[in-house]
Chains A and B, each alone.
Chain A
Amino acid sequence: MYLQFSRRLFGKAVHVLVLGTFTILLAFPFYWMFITSFKQNLDLYTMENNPFIFNARPTLEHVRFLFAETRFVRWLGNTALVGIVVVAITLLLAVPAAYALARLAGRWGERLGIAIFLTYLVPPTLLFIPLSRVVASLGLQDSLWALILVYPSFTVPFSIWLLMGFFKSIPRELEDAAMVDGLTRFGAFIKMVIPISVSGILTVVIFTFTLVTQEFVYALTFISSESNQMIGVGIPIFLVRGDVYFWGSLMAACLVASLPIAFLYNLFLDRFIAGFTVGAVK
């Protein structure tokens, strides 16, 4: 009895210890961004101070500097704009394609779906060099249109894959009934399938938007001027002047930009994972 009790207590202690250690290791950089954002410079750059706590009063100066004296707000706007347009393009291309491949094309629809999914594995780091020339020849250097043109190349394949799984889970009888009632196949798709697929479509919207905010290589390659930057490149490259790091405002920018994206992604995480695991979970 006593042995069992102490064994259970030991198990619990190990559980807490494991979770605590991992959480601290994984979340620490974000705690670090937080405390750096609100420390006075004197506090930040005095080496004798304990860096884990506030040694002087917290300050909003870094946040003020970020919003008032850098292009941060502009970058947020650029990112939102590109995100919204890319979401729209992705939906226009991926929703009909996923439906066609899931429903109408039979066995080779499945194969084509897998082939499209594999293109998601072709990385930007393989394509950015030729694409830089394509972008230049279209006259789109340093333009957000370059990103709008290129970003769907990684959002469309994965979205088709996610949506195929989603459309397959809708009972066929639904469209059959609608078609018996006189709708065409396309009419049934627009009037019956899309309305009940709102949650699947929303998943694609969030996934696409977060992928756009996380992209780095294309934005770094195609965009050169400070005012046309996205947050992913603007913050790490353009908030640094010469070799001078404004760590307070830099960390504030990281925190302000990451948390909403992380929060959104987290809400829909289980569905993205269902897409990644293909069919390996039964």
Chain B
Amino acid sequence: MAIARAKIKSAGAAKSPLLSAAMFTPAVLYILLIVGGPFLLAIFYAFSDARIGNAEMHFVGLENFRSILQSPSFRVAIRNSFIFTIFSQIVVIIGSNILAIALEKTFRGRGLLRFLILLPWVAPIALGAIGWKWILDSIYSVITWVLVALHIYKPYNAPMWLGEPHLAIASVLLVHSWRLMPFSTVILLAGRTAIPKDIPEAAAVDGAGFWRTQLQIMIPMMRPIISVAVLFGLIFTFTDMTVVYILTAGGPFDSTQTLPSLAFATGIQGSDLAAGAAISLFLVPLLVILAYFMLRVAHRAEVS
């Protein structure tokens, strides 16, 4: 039966290869042109001296990479990219596991609560970030107001959240975590609801308490789905420039610059397309690694 079915399937596939190709070729061509083409161009530019407003360009070998690697801003940017990505994901994965457990039960008002919790992810991030810019304002920050009201700081003597390098880094980290927490939560929630209810129940009958059930049964069972949430989270944070650009524009003194925001500052605002392209290429190695792990997760799910 299964063999007969497989035969019909392959016959059906073989019957219309032309139609099939005609249906997917436009999409594939478009993607090759608009994603593949520019990607190759980025590599090409990185070895050239392309500038905005100058049609000519020449091959300059590794010159761009040499000057980038010597620039202190670049070293700060690469360090920040990793700090923001890794630490925000640690915050997100701990927070979203807790939140997913709390949201699993049904209760009254759950729909509204879910909507409120999801806002940071579903609202445009540029707008969420400008909201945070106001919350972290140098004079009228509500956080400062609370700290002054609690007598932790004297008025007019409070820290400038976005104006001092360490605090600015912490602020960007906070906004990234804030943004991705809901995304990770809903993915984990989907993973939880897919686990049959009798598994945690059986564990409870066997005398396992809440923590043991969560840590030794639920979380190990959710490993593939947790990896999916983490992989997407890493990619979204590592490649994002919106949060940094709006909150600090890379400042103060380039201290919050990341690879994407430095690529923008150099390549577009500074007109040095070649150096900008070279900086953004440093995103590729990590993206390749993350894509590899994502394929492994997908493949394992396919096999099981």
Q: How far is the CA of A19 from the CA of B18 in the complex (A)?
A: 54
Interface string of B136-176 (1 = CB under 8 A from A): 01011010010000000001000000000000000000000
Contact status of A30 and B131, CB under 8 A, knowing A106-B9, A125-B263, A221-B268: yes
Task: Name which residue of chain A comes closest to B120, CB basis.
Answer: A26
A242 contacts chain B at the CB level, 8 A cutoff: no
Residues of B within 8 A of A157 (CB): 31
Pair B19/A185 contact, Cβ less than 8 Å: yes
Q: Is B123 an interface residue (CB 8 A)?
A: yes
Asked if A166 lies at the interface with its beta carbon under 8 angstroms from chain B, I say: no
Contact with B along A245-262 (1 / 0, CB 8 A): 101001101100111011
- Choose from B38, B105, B116, B194 the contact partner of A130 (Cβ within 8 Å): B38
6 contacts between A and B (CB under 8 A): A27-B119, A129-B267, A130-B39, A156-B31, A160-B27, A276-B232
Interface size class of A (residues with CB under 8 A): 35 or more
Q: Which of A28, A92, A257, A266 contacts B124 (CB 8 A)?
A: A257
Shortest beta-carbon distance, A1 to chain B, in Å?
19
5 A-B pairs closest in CB distance? A123-B239, A130-B41, A258-B123, A104-B20, A125-B260
- Which residues in A have their C-beta under 8 angstroms from that of B98? 18, 22
Interface residue? A216 (CB, 8 A):
yes
B30 at the interface (CB under 8 A from A): yes
In the bound complex, CA of A150 to CA of B35 (Å): 9
How far apart are A135's CB and chain B's nearest CB, in angstroms?
10
A33 touching B131, Cβ below 8 Å: yes
Interface pair B134/A26, CB less than 8 Å apart: no
**Contact indicator B19/A153 (Cβ below 8 Å):** no
Contact of B130 with A97 in the complex, beta carbons under 8 Å: no
Q: How far is the CB of A47 from chain B (nearest CB, A)?
A: 7
B13: Cβ under 8 A from any A Cβ: yes
B198 CB → nearest A CB, Å:
16
Q: How far is the CA of A221 from the CA of B273 in the complex (A)?
A: 12
A148-165 CB mask vs B (1 if < 8 Å, else 0) is 011011001100100000
Looking at A65-73, A195-203, A229-237, the stretch in contact with chain B turns out to be A229-237
Interface membership of B62, Cβ < 8 A? no
Binding site for A on B (CB under 8 A): 9-10, 12-13, 15-17, 19-21, 23-24, 26-28, 30-31, 34-39, 41-42, 44-45, 50, 52, 95, 98-99, 102-103, 105, 113-120, 122-132, 134-135, 137, 139-140, 142, 145, 155, 178, 181-182, 186-187, 190-191, 194, 224-225, 227-228, 232, 235, 239-242, 245-246, 259-260, 263-264, 267-268, 273, 276-277, 280-281, 283-284, 287, 290-291, 294-295, 297-298, 301-302, 304
Which residues of chain A from 14 to 68 have any CB-CB distance to chain B below 8 Å in the complex?
15, 18-19, 22-23, 25-30, 32-33, 36, 44-45, 47, 51-52
A213 to B190, CA, bound (A): 26
Which A residues are in CB contact (< 8 Å) with B134? 32, 36, 245, 247, 250-251
Q: CA–CA, A247 to B304, complex, Å? A: 53
Q: Using A118-B291, A125-B239, A126-B239 as known contacts, say yes or no to A105 and B42 having CB atoms under 8 A apart.
A: no
Output the least CB separation between A261 and chain B (Å).
Answer: 6
| Cβ–Cβ contact A104 & B186, under 8 A | no
* CA gap between A30 and B129 in the complex, in Å: 11
Contact: A126 with B45, CB < 8 Å? no
Asked if A168 is an interface residue, CB under 8 A from chain B, the answer is no
Q: Is the CB of B30 within 8 A of A93?
A: yes
CA distance A97 to B32 in the complex (A): 14
Task: Return B83 CB to nearest CB of chain A, in Å.
Answer: 17
Residue A127 CB within 8 A of the other chain: yes
A-B contact count (CB 8 A): 299
Majority-rule SS of B interface residues: helix
Contact B283 A262 (CB under 8 A): no
Q: How far is the CB of B194 from chain A (nearest CB, A)?
A: 4
| Chain B, residue nearest A104 (CB) | B20
Q: Check B178–A26 contact: CB distance below 8 A.
A: yes
Tell whether A116 pairs with B28 under 8 Å between CB atoms, given A26-B117, A254-B130: yes
Chain A residue with Cβ nearest B13: A106
Which residue of the partner chain B has the closest CB to A113? B24
Distance in angstroms from A269 CB to nearest chain B CB is 6
Residues of A near B45 (CB, < 8 A) are: 129-130
Measured between alpha carbons, how far is A189 from B21 in the docked complex, in Å? Answer: 15
Give min CB distance, A25 to chain B, whole Å: 7
* Contact of A47 with B131 in the complex, beta carbons under 8 Å: no
Given contacts A29-B120, A262-B122, contact A236 B31 (CB under 8 A): no
Interface centre among B39, B120, B242, B267 (most CB of A within 10 A): B242
- Taking the complex as formed, is A144 at the interface, i.e. its CB lies under 8 A from any CB of chain B? no
CA distance A76 to B176 in the complex (A): 26
Q: Which residues from 183 to 226 on chain A have a C-beta closer than 8 Å to any C-beta of chain B?
A: 185-186, 210, 213-214, 216-217, 220-221
In the complex the two chains form, is B115's CB within 8 Å of A29's CB? no
CB proximity of A256 to chain B, nearest CB, Å:
10
**Cross-chain contact A269 with B118 (CB below 8 angstroms):** yes
Q: Does A145 contact B (CB under 8 A)?
A: no
CB distance from B131 to the nearest CB of A (A): 4
CA distance A262 to B112 in the complex (A): 12
List chain A residues, Cβ under 8 A from B128: 29, 254, 258
